[in-house]
Amino acid sequence: MPVYKTIHPNSKTTVKIWKITESYEDLFQPLDLKQNSLDRVLGMRSEIHQRGFLSVRHLLREFGYTDQDLFYDDYGKPHLKDGTHISITHSFTFSAVIISSGEVGIDIEKQRPKIEIIANKFVDYEFNYLDTNTEDYVRKLTVIWGVKESLYKLFATPGMLFKEHFLVIPFMLNDGKTVAWIDYENKKYRYQTYFFEFEGFTCAYVVN
């Protein structure tokens, strides 16, 4: 399908989300992939991941870029050849790309109860304000994960841990934004982060 949603957080930043309804063949056919991208997608065992990968390339075209304009550094962070900042995500039936003049990070996650099982691996300070007995516990955990994942993508520094180095201050689900901190190697960084929910998914993003 065409772009599912477009957001303009500011005059220099755009988020585009794709709902993946097309088959692998329909997504693959119109694209011109460079060799390493072709090798990657053909080597994926899951069709869900293949379709997510290809839908991101369709989003690039919506921005006026092609697969040839995209490359990854040694830490796996995506870059565009013209120097514009980019971050990429896909989860099940949705993918998203954020492009900006400044550093960015984005993440989409499906809201699933299983996140409660791994909460201890990425939540520390946040347990002080989370109520495990409320209906929105899974949704709030998903926001926290998405915010931290977005920050990790933006910072792209090996050795950073969600539980130890990232902190998300209290928020309400209808706020649509919150403040997050990175505390790493005796330096602190403050970021305004944003989030929204749709069709059982959560999208979080951060613009530097």
pLDDT digits (tens, 9 = 90+) for 162-196: 999 999 999 999 999 999 999 999 899 999 999 99
What mean pLDDT is reported for the chain?
Answer: 96
Alpha-carbon distance of 138 to 117, in angstroms, equals 10
Query: What integer is the mean pLDDT of 143-164?
Result: 94
C-alpha 121: how far from its chain's center? Answer: 19
User: Which CB contacts under 8 angstroms, 24+ apart, belong to 49-53?
Assistant: 49/90, 50/24, 51/20, 51/22, 51/23, 51/24, 51/27, 52/20, 52/90, 52/91, 52/92, 52/95, 53/90
Asked if the model's pLDDT at residue 1 lies above 70, the reply is no
What is the model's pLDDT at position 170?
98
**Per residue in 58-77, pLDDT tens?**
999 999 999 999 999 998 89
89-117 burial by CB neighbour count: b if 16+ within 10 A, else e? bbbbbbbbbbbbeebbbbbbbeeeeebee
Question: Rounded to two decimals, what is the model's pTM?
Answer: 0.95
What is the model's pLDDT at position 135?
87
Tell me which residue has tokens 């869900």. Answer: 48
Q: Is the model more confident about 195 or about 133? A: 195
Asked if the model's pLDDT at residue 106 lies above 90, the reply is yes
**Per residue in 22-61, pLDDT tens?**
999 999 999 999 999 999 999 999 999 999 999 999 999 9
Give all domains of the chain, ordered by start, each with its CATH number. Answer: 3-100 (3.90.470.20), 107-207 (3.90.470.20)
What is the model's pLDDT at position 158?
85
What is the model's pLDDT at position 2?
81
CB 105 within 8 A of CB 151: yes
